[in-house]
Structure 1
Amino acid sequence: MNTENIEIYPNWFLHIFTEWARSLGDIYSVQLGQQNWIILTSDKVVGELLQKRGAKYSTRMPNRNNFKLLTRGKGYAGSPYNERYRKINPIMHSVLGQRSVKENSGLLDDEFRILMQTLCQVSAKTNDGFYPKYFFQHTALNIISLLCSNKRTDSVDDPFYREFEILMGTRFELAKVTNGLSEFFPILKWFPNTKIHNAMIESADSIETFLGKLVKEVMDDKEKKPCIIRELLCKKDEEILDDLDVIFLTETIFSAGTDTVSASLTWLTAALANNPHVQSKAHQELDRVIGQSRIPEVSDEQNIPYIRAIIKEGQRYCGALYLGIPHAIEEDDEYNGYHIPANSVVILNQYGIHTDEKRYENSKEFKPERFLGFTESSAALANGNYENRDHFGFGAGRRLCTGIHMACIIFAERELLLGVSRLLWCFKIENASPLGKDGKPTPINLDKIRNGLTVWPEDYKVRFVKRHDNVEKVLSGQS
């Protein structure tokens, strides 16, 4: 299929790729200028190619000049499967391994307890509702910042958080595919978009300055407290990494560790506000299993299957990624008589799979019940048979979850478990949108999105109403 006469704009490919799949099939190609894109829109073809033939599909999109500009050529998630990637990959596995999950469970508990206290305080000051994104993002940032440098901030008004939020927002916006059209249509190189080019250089400069200060703080710490940046600095001392490696590997961890979790919580909160009957079932489960004298813990997971199902359904229904980070193939391949040329870009259409009626009946409904029979974690299912996966939000193949160790997925799942279970234990989430003609709040429109590398819902307002008088007492540890 040729797309010469189709206008390309930021949200165009999110739905059109799925519409085409319904008529063209689960695998088809799109010629975007000089690049050949292979679109995968079924669990089977993703499993057969990205998982079973992972060695062939483990590199990233070729000729990503914009990616090089944004990362000084020192990135990780979008890096080709080359010598540098093979050198850095075991380092990232080490600093984000199973040990990090085990050693930092208390950190997650503290930060999500503080988040609930903050939401109580903010809710007490307004009855109009508010957009919770920034509070979720602040909590995720504190977790990653503590892991990387033993640093945390107290509120969304802190300059460190504000600078981070602006930097990451700009970065994900600049990373959009549509900001690199000259990579598809070489003739556009004769008409360079200097504004975008300069913005990318400025973004890289800003990240280098911002994280450079954090690296220096770690280096100047006389107590030499252990953290991820210190581990990366040890690799620098061993002459395996250089200064820019340390900074931009840290940037990978910051961006991967904050945006996906906070975006997931922001989406889920909107979905829950639109579906009070789901909240009611969750409240019943929490009251029966947890009671009202303590908050949920990670150890409660197996006993709260409906909460676990809500999280899985959230990743399917409104996940933070629609197309993920593109894969690529460096050699020709054949699949069921379909020729896949070398140097093709391979797209995992997560949105298309997640809305496939054959896999998820009534896919447009937010229906956690569809996952009540799933007892394994998404991390375990992602490494197993594609037919048994709950969702494809973490990607597929060797570059699963941006190539970081499976512990990263486990860590994210624990964050979501604590975030969702405690939100629902503490609050009834009410839609604070304007009233419609029927006298009820207008449903939050989840089709309106902010599209960058990560997908966010447009601003909305919700109210967090305390479910019982014991909430603040329990959160403060007085009960």
Structure 2
Amino acid sequence: MLPLYLLLACLALYYIFKSNTPHGLKKLPTPPGHFFHVGREPHKKFTEWARSLGDIYGVHMGQQYWIILTGDKVVGELLQKRGGKYSSRITSYYTYDLLTRGKSYFGCPYNERYRMLTPIMHGALGQRSVKENSKLLDNEFRILMQNLCNASTNAKDGVYPKNWFQLTSLNIITILCLNKRTETVDDPFFTEFKTVMEEHMDLVKITNRLSEFFPIMKLIPNTSLRNKIIANRTKVEAFLGKLIKEVENDKEKKPCIIRNFLHKKDEGILDELDIIYLVDAFFAAGTDTIASSLTWLSATLANNPEVQSKAHQELDRVIGQSRLPEVSDEQNLPYIRAIIKEGQRYCAPIYLGVPHGIEEDDEYNGYHIPANSVVVLNQYGIHMDEKRYENPKEFKPERFLGVTESSAALANRNSENRDHFGFGAGRRLCTGIHMAERELFLGVSHLLWCFRIENASPLGEDGKPIPIDLNKVRLGISVWPEDYRVKFIIRHDNVEKLLFGLSQI
């Protein structure tokens, strides 16, 4: 019997040379590699291939055919202008049917169920919700500054702020969903949330999904993996089910997102599992991406003190030192806005996003786009394109100083004029984009108003801290920088007075 790796290699070659290209159309360019050549950093390999093959090419991932988009023009043409064709998902046995019982919102094909759920999600996270919850957001970011101040004061060697950013984003979601918040990163609820959700996201890694690419693998039962998936699914449903029950048992009937979902259940629109996995979508997307963005930016700013200095000057000139920044200040803080946009480009929390799918044949520039292809938006590749961004490996907020519109507004216009692609594209654009932009503005403006972020790494031969290595990452659906150490140094006396109410200013 052939060894497993030889069997898979033979299958890969079969799918590569199998051709169904219609007469008169060309097959998409193909790289000199396939599934086994992608490696542990697919964003880098996909970008390397794009530099020689162009902005659109196809790669055989076993039985699946992946189309990689690495240019703003082709993204706009396919994902935006032809969004009706390119807004589905290619579902799989392990990732959606088993892990979420086929109830995943993000993995839902572009069908009637998705079109029914989307207005519900937009109603919970849209512009109106952002406006109605502005005080909540202000309060949570003020508490975040308190936590960072205390944590940095008590840690001589600096802190890795990831947990505090996660706590803040979790509190925003739990307050919106069920009027619940958690005080510290040591709270059992926060610990349970992190354990369950990190395991949940880890199980959808490509290494756990070989049967998607090689269906014959379904004939070789992976009992251990299947048991892990079912065990995690049970944990997720128990964890979220407990929160839903808290809302059901709330005698005061306080309004919240879960209560709105329960009303939809009473109307026969949603069932219990629908509610669980809609809440799962809130927790997965609403906590990771914002927390990851702020974790990346803290390291990036520590490596770029000159950027901080310019931001401090702008904040002192526009805000002064007697109050914290407010949402109404955003239009008067172009450099802060530019830092946020550059952060979403330079160190985005998503490299490839959740792949789109096309269920019918299509044609682009004479190329055949086969039905049932997986379509990948290579955000990393676009963000590191020298033709689009001069010196892309430099953190340079100045490149966005002339951009006055929000990312949400730009995402629905000409793709070639977009600031970045961190929120995806087309009809699968991030549902919570308005909430995310508000959180990023409050997080970054508060951080820089309150603190100077110093690199706390060991000193190098030149007597200066060794720059934080931003190439060391933890890859998953969202991307995190490896553990680093920074200090949050209070900028002026009024910081503690405003954060802790020590006295009137």
Question: Structure 1 25/363 Cα, relative in aligned 2: closer, same or farther at 3 Å?
Answer: same
Deviations along 1:160-191, one digit per CA (max 9) or x if unpaired, are 11111111211221122232011101232233
Q: Return the alpha-carbon distance in structure 1 between the equivalents of residues 289 and 97 of structure 2.
A: 22
Q: Secondary structure at the match of 1:71?
A: coil
Alignment partner, residue 451 of structure 2: 427
Tell me the secondary structure at the aligned position of residue 36 of structure 1: strand
| Segment of structure 1 superposing worse, 49-58 or 82-91 | 82-91
- Which residue of structure 1 lines up, in the alignment, with residue 245 of structure 2? 216
**SS of aligned partner of 1:111:** helix
What is the TM-score when the length of structure 1 is the normalising length? 0.96
Instruction: Output the CA distance in 1 between the equivalents of 2:35 and 2:387.
Output: 32
Give the aligned partner of residue 367 of structure 1.
Answer: 396
Q: Deviations over 1:395-422 (max 9, x none)?
A: 0000101xx2xxx211111100010011
Partner of 2:107: 78
How do residues 211-360 of structure 1 correspond to structure 2 at under 5 angstroms? Answer: 211-360=240-389
Note if contact 1:41-1:349 (Cα within 8 Å) is conserved in structure 2. Answer: yes
Give distance in 1, aligned partners of 2:43 and 2:345.
15
CA distance in 1, matches of 2:93, 2:66: 14
The partner residue of 2:488 within 444, 451, 464 is 464
1:4, distance to aligned residue in structure 2 (A): 5.1
**Corresponding residue number in structure 2 for 1:451:** 475
Distance 1:115 1:128 in 2: 20
The answer to whether the 8 Å contact 1:3/1:32 transfers is no
- Cα deviation per residue 1:84-132 (whole Å; 9 max; x = unaligned)? 2222222222232332111100000000000001111111112210110
Moved more, 80-89 or 69-78: 80-89
Map of 1:440 onto structure 2: 464
- Alignment correspondent of 2:36: 6
Pick one of 434, 439, 446 that aligns with 1:410.
434
Q: Deviations over 1:26-82 (max 9, x none)?
A: 100001110000000000000011001100001012435322222121110111112
- Which of 64, 67, 72 aligns to 1:38? It is 67
Tell me the alpha carbon deviations over residues 192-231 of structure 1, each in whole angstroms, 9 at most, x when there is no partner. Answer: 3333222211111111011111001100001100000000
Q: TM-score, normalised by structure 2?
A: 0.92
Q: Which moved more, 1:194-203 or 1:47-56?
A: 194-203
* Distance in structure 1 (CA, Å) of the matches to 2:165 and 2:327: 18
Query: Per chain length, whose mean CA-contact separation is higher, i.e. which structure has more relative contact order (CA < 8 Å, sep 6+)?
Result: 1
Deviation at 1:6, TM superposition (A): 2.9
User: Between the two proteins, what is the percent identity of the paired residues?
Assistant: 70
- SS of equivalent residue, structure 2 residue 394: coil
For the residues of structure 1 that align with 2:451 and 2:303, how far apart are their CA atoms? 15
Q: For residues 21 and 74 of structure 1, what CA distance do their matches in structure 2 show?
A: 34
Q: Which of 175, 186, 198 pairs up with 2:227?
A: 198
Conservation of the 8 A alpha-carbon contact between 2:165 and 2:295: yes
Q: Which of 1 and 2 has greater Rg? A: 2
Q: How far is 1:83 from its partner? A: 2.6
RMSD: 1.3
Alignment of 1:388-403 (within 5 A): 388-401=417-430
Structure 1: state its 5+ residue gaps: none
Against the structure 1 CA distance between its residues 339 and 419, is the aligned structure 2 distance closer, same or farther, given a 3 Å change threshold? same
**Is 1:136 the counterpart of 2:147 in the alignment?**
no
Q: Do the aligned partners of residues 56 and 111 (structure 1) sit closer, same or farther apart at CA in structure 2, a change above 3 Å counting?
A: same
Q: Which moved more, 1:83-92 or 1:39-48?
A: 83-92
Moved more, 440-449 or 145-154: 440-449
| 2:415 alignment counterpart | 386
* SS of residue matched to 1:145: helix
Among 132, 148, 151, the alignment partner of 1:103 is 132
Match of 1:394, SS state, is coil
Within the candidate set 86, 93, 97, 1:57 is matched to 86
Residues 1:119 and 1:12: Cα distance change in structure 2 (over 3 Å): closer
Q: Structure 2: how far apart are the matches of 1:172 and 1:474?
A: 38
Give the drift of 1:381: 0.5
Contact 2:35 2:61 in 1 (8 A): no
Question: Could you list the runs of 5+ residues in structure 2 that have no partner in the other structure?
Answer: 1-29
Range with bigger deviation, 355-364 or 195-204: 195-204
SS at match of 2:99: helix
How far residue 14 of structure 1 moved from its aligned partner, in angstroms, is 1.6
Letter in 2 for 1:102: K
- The 3-state SS of whatever aligns with 1:346 is strand
Tell whether the 8 Å contact from 1:173 to 1:451 is kept in structure 2 after alignment.
no
2:259 is paired with a residue whose SS is helix
